[in-house]
């Protein structure tokens, strides 16, 4: 647990019960963890945001950065609840104006993430949020992009972490990482 984050309260929901398991998606042998049932459940979404607020209490961000696209779903309401700004990190060609980007390796190829060039001006403290930490490549690239843009990376928060894929090891050492649901 992240230092300073309060332990779960009795009224916290059983979030894993809101996750649907879909075998053999997107390919045979993969057990996909689907958050769509959680997204359809207002009480579960409220619980996710409340738990992420505890992460904010611990790391005190100035801005929330959400990773396309499900990071937007949890990041924007979190930013609103905490009276913080929200900044999207997007795939290439999705943001207007001048952008900065980072290329990163995927299991089968490469990808790129971009951020508006002035989105993180003034060295804000940034919490990166997303729905899933798997291999960590996308989150690590986002963290790198945040630092490249001149911000201070103060933490990562995920709804789900697939521990067996080792994504946490790909993230910067010393930066707090909080996941609400852990699968081995």
- Model confidence band, residue 10 (pLDDT cutoffs 50, 70, 90): very low
Q: Which CATH number fits domain 60-183: 3.90.1150.10, 3.40.50.300, 3.40.50.2020, 3.40.50.150?
A: 3.40.50.2020
Q: How far apart are CA 149 and CA 163, in angstroms?
A: 29
Residue 110 CA to residue 116 CA, distance in Å, equals 21
Q: Is the pLDDT of residue 8 over 80?
A: no
Active site residues: 70, 107
d(CA 60, CA 127): 8
Digit-coded pLDDT (tens) for 109-153: 899 999 999 999 999 999 999 999 999 999 999 999 999 999 999
Confidence bin at 2 (pLDDT 50/70/90): low
Sign of the C-alpha dihedral computed for residues 101, 103, 108 and 109 taken in this order: positive
Can you tell me the distance from the alpha carbon of 75 to that of 59, in angstroms, rounded to the nearest whole number? 15
The neighbour count for residue 184, using CB atoms within 10 Å, is 6
pTM for the complete prediction? 0.92
């Amino acid at each position: 647990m992240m230092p300073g984050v309060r332990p779960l309260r009795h009224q916290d929901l059983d979030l894993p019960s809101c996750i649907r398991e879909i075998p053999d998606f997107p390919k045979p042998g993969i057990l996909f963890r689907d958050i769509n049932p959680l997204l359809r459940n207002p009480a579960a979404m409220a619980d996710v945001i409340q738990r992420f607020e505890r992460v904010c209490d611990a790391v005190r961000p100035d801005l929330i950065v959400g990773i396309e696209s499900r990071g937007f779903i949890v990041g924007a309401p979190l930013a609103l609840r905490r009276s913080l700004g929200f900044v999207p990190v997007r795939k290439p060609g999705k943001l207007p104006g001048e952008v900065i980007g980072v290329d990163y390796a995927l299991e089968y190829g490469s990808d790129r993430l971009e951020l508006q060039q002035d989105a993180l001006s003034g060295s804000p403290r940034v919490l990166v949020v997303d729905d899933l930490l798997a291999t960590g490549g996308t989150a690590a690239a986002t963290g790198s992009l945040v630092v490249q843009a001149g911000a201070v990376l103060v933490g990562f928060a995920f709804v789900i972490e697939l521990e067996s894929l080792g994504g946490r090891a790909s993230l910067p050492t010393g930066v707090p990482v909080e996941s609400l649901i852990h699968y081995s």
